[in-house]
Structure 1
């Protein structure tokens, strides 16, 4: 017979109630920060000195130290959480970035500069408390039973709540009860901090119309041809090997479009761009390569893969109309993702790091116009990134206009504190009815508490993790490669 008490005891010996959030923050510090810098790689100013052909800023290794404080006399020492609380300080670490200034292919200067201060989660790897035993924690003024998982901003304890969102890059099918549209498939294509909604609608005439960004209700066959799939048989093969009435109607409607250039010009006309013809085509091509399904790819080489993905979307739409499949249940927890502190801070840092890079270029350009090259130590404004991150975490106003992401930690009682640290908040507006999203779903079993939800307009939108639930983080590229290799070894082949 299974000793359930032993299993529960072992679970809490290896995990804490906020362990998932701490792991997520550690991953952000150890991996995601460097990944964001690597994605940026370099910055090239448009304005250079008269005698110079090219100037380039290269971004290298990023590093952090443990929280410190600089006193009025200039001395620097370690900062502990209790002192930050008492003195209304922010418990944060300095972030250093290796920056190189390359002029005409030769390195003129390379330095490790401070770019920001990032608040540190209590009990994470960079926190001073993570290495202390119970007696040392008491000496530091801390509760040895405190789980951590929160931040101290200007002396105030704040928590980043878990955000519940639809799974990105996943196609959802649904029936439409009213209007000219009868069936619909949609997804959020996610790349970096961007989430671009895409949809393909089937109208009452049987036409499949695709929309994303400023592309509105473009026949899907036109999109396929604009991506280079100009032969009707190839389009049919990407959707389904057997042609049906709906597919035939869509092919017939685009019969006059023979080449990719014709399709791109057709799209440009529907967008009503006030530009010369060549500029219109360039704009359409840019949007196809960069804004259409960016999670699939963002260059000309990914066009075939994008056409294949659109074919799968259309096939799902045809199957939904034929009754072969049922509409997707968006409230099924398989179709949800819970975003933790590391994910939220990654979005925040990525967005504001781009602002910092733009500011570096601006300061360099201003110096060039004044006839001098500013040294790296002076070209990076540390307070810019620090203030933007600190402001977001102090007010809860996040990227993309989200609010309430950061909240003041409730310490009314011990259990209430834990409940707040394990809150899962939906992105849906509380003012909307959204009855299905508020209801208890069978897939919540074992993941979310069926009882713990506030009364009033937030009921069902603010939930709490079940006691034994544990959230995993995304797989890294190396982990993905290892899994793919394992699948290939057992005989599985990649989809083509």
Structure 2
């Protein structure tokens, strides 16, 4: 029989944050570089590819002294940032050059921290508390902790009944996420006068668009569309097909007019391709070969909407904890690094092209201005203002006492607006039992939106589902 004391001894109370940060160092940063692949530079006979990325040992760039190792204790005393250099391999026309692109704040007691693996006596000699569990950063001498962010599960269809502008609407919604980009796609059934009943909304298209027109624009024929639905749903879909009867090319032109309204016809076709590839269900893919798969996915969403409308299924509970995911330090830092790296990629391109225009030797070492990346990451951690307009992601670590500091590192915050009621989201849900503490939540506008992990809760890491899909396919499921 496990007791709470056994759990605390066996499983560190902040180990999940350290594991997440270690994943960022080992694989997370490299994923961002692999997504980028190569930088397109407008210089004849010049190619620039990105290779391996690694993080060095913690050091502080002292003015006049250069990079010098500094302990966390000294960083606190002297208002320094405890960080380590990021070294990226560039391949200029096949020739490898390793360049320092910036500094990454180091999480205390992570694998790259100088305190990692020290004995109790060595920690005391370094000026550290041997009971401190780590899992936070030191930015300009201030200890800052990243709050765990509670978010809706990505790439998961949630079907609900809603009332919009006094009308009952059945909605299937999915947050499609690919490489940090998040696209909200909905399929809804609503009664309209003569323009059909099934509609899709997604970024890049103003207002909603008829489902069957979009499926035809994605390359499906009328028969293929009808084959995606069961007998009960076919009548609804047939009515929509007859109301807006278009062939594939005509449907694609219609989509182009909606996406590129007010622009030249040639641009409209380009815009339609861009919108379909990048904004419509990006997690499925972003090439023309993925379009039929996207149409089938939309059909699944529409089938769920029709089933719910016919009372053949229950609405999904978006407050159920199986529909939530917790974003830890590694995931949040990867998102921040991706945005910051995209900024310096544009700057590198500009600097290299400027060197070429001035007939100078094109040199990647002088083109990289490492301060840009460092300042971008440090600013977000110092202020808590994260990408996507979120605030309060990074907070000053509560050092009232030992328990308060541990509780702060296990705090969970929802992204919902504090000023709206959100009664259901604030309520205690049955599925939070054993995962979220039912008592520890602030009073006032944060009530129910800021929560704390229960002592016995375990955060499982995300795994690649391709291996599971492969086995299911082999078993004929």
Q: Same fold (TM over 0.5)?
A: yes
Kindly state the Cα deviation for residue 375 of structure 1 after the two structures are TM-superposed. 1.3
Secondary structure of the residue aligned to 1:239 is coil
Q: CA deviation at 1:37?
A: 0.5
Whether the aligned pair in 2 keeps the contact of 1:236 and 1:242 (CA below 8 Å) is: no
Q: CA deviation at 1:123?
A: 0.9
Residue correspondence of structure 1 range 342-361 to structure 2 within 5 A: 342-361=330-349
Could you say which residue in structure 1 is the equivalent of 2:147? 161
TM-superposed deviation, 1:274: 2.2
Deviation (angstroms), 1:77: 4.0
Contact 1:44 1:55 in 2 (8 A): no
d(CA) in 2 for partners of 1:290, 1:350 = 17
Paired with 2:356 and 2:168, the residues of 1 have a C-alpha distance of 56
Alignment of 1:197-212 (within 5 A): 197-205=184-192, 207-212=197-202
Query: What is the CA deviation profile of residues 124-165 of structure 1, one whole-angstrom value per residue up to 9, with x for unaligned ones?
Result: 101111110111111111111101110000000000000011
Cα pair 2:218 2:295 within 8 Å, conserved: yes
Q: Distance in 2 between matches of 1:236 and 1:181?
A: 25
1:145 aligned onto 2:131: yes
Q: Distance in 1 between matches of 2:377 and 2:64?
A: 27
Q: 1:488 Cα shift?
A: 4.8
1:408 aligned to 393, 396, 404, which one?
396
**Which one is further off, 206-215 or 333-342?**
206-215
What stretches of structure 1 move > 4 A for 4+ residues in a row?
Answer: 70-73
**TM-superposed deviation, 1:13:** 3.5
Whether 1:324 aligns to 2:312 is yes
Q: Over residues 76-129 of structure 1, what are the superposed CA-to-partner deviations in whole Å (9 max), with x where a residue is unaligned?
A: 543211111001111101000001112xxxx3x431000010001111101111
Structure-1 residue corresponding to 2:57:
66
For structure 1, list consecutive stretches of 5 or more residues without a partner in the other structure.
Answer: none
2-structure distance, mates of 1:416, 1:35: 35
How far apart are residue 237 of structure 1 and its match?
1.4
1:127 and 1:330 mapped to 2: Cα distance?
39
**2:242 aligns to what?**
252
Is 1:112 matched with 2:108? no
Q: Distance in 2 between matches of 1:243 and 1:458?
A: 43
Query: What is the rounded CA distance, in whole Å, between the counterparts of 1:190 and 1:99 in structure 2?
Result: 28
Deviations 1:351-408 (A, max 9, x none): 1111111111000111111112331210111101000000000000111111010000
**Given the alignment of the two structures, is residue 19 of structure 1 paired with residue 15 of structure 2, yes or no?**
yes
Task: Determine the C-alpha separation between the residues in 1 that align with 2:110 and 2:350.
Answer: 36
> Greater CA deviation, 283-292 or 366-375?
366-375
* 1:483 counterpart = 2:468: yes
Shift of 1:481: 4.1
8 A contact 2:212–2:237 mirrored in 1: no
CA distance in 2, matches of 1:4, 1:421: 24
Aligned to 1:268: 256
Using the TM superposition, give the Cα deviation of residue 4 of structure 1 relative to its aligned residue in structure 2, in angstroms.
Answer: 2.9
Q: How does 1:207-246 map to 2 (within 5 A)?
A: 207-215=197-205, 216-229=207-220, 231-240=221-230, 243-246=233-236
* Cα distance, 1:242–1:329 mapped onto 2, change above 3 Å: closer
Separation (CA, whole Å) in 2 of partners of 1:298 and 1:200: 20
Matched, 1:31 2:27: yes
RMSD: 1.7
Equivalent positions of 1:79-94 (< 5 A) are 79-94=70-85
Contact 1:18 1:421 in 2 (8 A): yes
* Cα separation, 2, equivalents of 1:83 and 1:68: 11
1:40 aligns to 2:36 (yes or no)? yes
The alpha-carbon deviation at position 181 of structure 1 amounts to 5.0
Deviations 1:410-458 (A, max 9, x none): 1112211111111100000111100110000001100000000000110
Report the alpha carbon displacement of residue 15 of structure 1 after superposing the two structures with TM: 1.6
Partners of 2:467 and 2:97 lie apart in 1 by 36
Structure 2 distance, partners of 1:38, 1:426, is: 30
Question: Does the C-alpha gap of structure 1 residues 60 and 242 become closer, same or farther in structure 2, counting only changes over 3 Å?
Answer: same
| Correspondence for 1:303 among 291, 294, 299 | 291
Paired residue for 2:278, among 264, 286, 290? 290
TM-score by length of 1: 0.92
Q: 1:71 to 1:292 in 2, by over 3 A?
A: closer
CA distance in 2, matches of 1:64, 1:80: 17
- Gaps spanning 5+ residues in structure 2: where? none
* Contact 1:187–1:198 (CA under 8 A) maintained in structure 2: yes
Matching residue of 1:55: 46
Answering whether residue 351 of structure 2 is matched by residue 363 of structure 1, we say yes
Aligned residues: 472
> Which of 380, 385, 390 is residue 368 of structure 2 equivalent to?
380
Any idea what SS the aligned residue of 1:362 has?
helix
Answer whether contact 2:59 2:68 (CA < 8 A) is retained.
yes
Q: Distance in 2 between matches of 1:373 and 1:286?
A: 36
